[in-house]
Amino acid sequence: MRPRHGFTLVEILVALVIMGVVSGAVYQLLYTTQRLSRAQTEQVSLQSNVRTGSLLVPAELREINTVVGGTVDQNDVLSIAADAVTYRGMRGLGTVCQAPAVNNQIQLLRSTYSGSRDPVAADSLYFFIENDPDREDDDVWMPLRITSVASGAVCPGANGITLNTAANAAVIGLAVGTPVRIYEVMELKLHDQDGQSWLGARSISAGDAVQPVLGPLVSGNGFALEYLDGNGVATADKTAIKSIRITVRGLTDELVRSSGTYVGHPEEVLVSQVLLRNSIRP
């Protein structure tokens, strides 16, 4: 009979030790890779949030207007704070397609209307009044509340948008081609919800509650606004604002590990500045 061959106890122990070392190394490699991948994902998401905020807020504020020493109707900035602003947000622009015969209705040509959306009943409008054509300092944008909106063939030979409004004698006889701007009253603010801070937004015109649109942000100063006049100096006068400096401080949603220890929530800061529509004028 041939002698039987097998493994000695020492050989089995050595094999088990080697297998344990290799398995531990593989586990450590997979764990490190997973940790780095999660950290990179959180960092990418953080940077994306901050960049989105630096694009969204300036785009929303760029069309607002202020007039130094002007009335409330002439200024789109309604209230300001270090972490909040209330303003008239522009939603569209169109032109009058026929001279109104009544004091509470304006009809816009559909083909000339452009904007982020169509007008709705909660909106308001500005219509342009040119007084002396040889002067620039007497022209005004007159605000007017919209009560209802309808569409159809309301313009001569073309589709249009009918804006039923509060009564105003200045509406009667508006020239064809008069520009009309649609707006709603909006608020942007640092908003706390579920134990985190967010960039919150709401339509005051529509009576909406504040909704988180971007975040999470750093609590306390994750969204900061600085209001500057024509000389670039901080001002508390709403009528003197010519630009707004916007600071967005974001942080990761999840805790991020480094070298096996928690380092908390990494932060990212991005500062941008938006010039208002009339910022070229002192």
Residue keyed to tokens 């480094």: 258
Residues 72 and 47 in one domain: yes
What confidence score (pLDDT) does residue 18 get? 86
Write the single-letter amino acid at 226: E
Residues 179 and 98 in one domain: yes
CB distance 244 to 271 below 8 Å? no
Provide the domain limits for residue 107: 86-184
Residues 264 and 224 in one domain: yes
- Domain count within the chain: 2
* CATH assignment of the domain containing 121: 2.40.30
What confidence score (pLDDT) does residue 282 get? 46
Query: DSSP characters for 113-136?
Result: -EESS---TT-EEEEEE---TT-S
167 within some domain: yes
Residues 195 and 263 in one domain: yes
Q: In whole angstroms, what is the distance from residue 266 CA to residue 254 CA?
A: 9
How many C-alpha atoms does 167 have within 13 Å on its Cβ side? 2
36 within some domain: no
Q: Does the pTM of the predicted model rise above 0.85?
A: no
Q: What is the CA 126 to chain-centroid distance, rounded?
A: 22
Q: What is the pLDDT along the chain (282 residues), one digit of tens a residue?
A: 566 666 677 777 888 888 888 888 787 777 677 667 666 676 777 777 788 888 889 989 988 888 888 888 888 999 999 999 999 999 999 999 999 999 999 999 999 999 989 999 999 999 988 776 766 666 788 889 999 999 888 888 889 999 999 999 999 989 999 999 999 999 999 999 888 899 999 999 999 999 998 889 988 899 999 999 988 899 999 999 999 999 999 888 777 765 555 567 777 888 999 999 876 544
**Residue 13 class from Cβ within 10 Å (0-12 exposed, 13-18 middle, 19+ buried)?**
exposed
Q: In whole angstroms, what is the distance from residue 171 CA to residue 17 CA?
A: 91
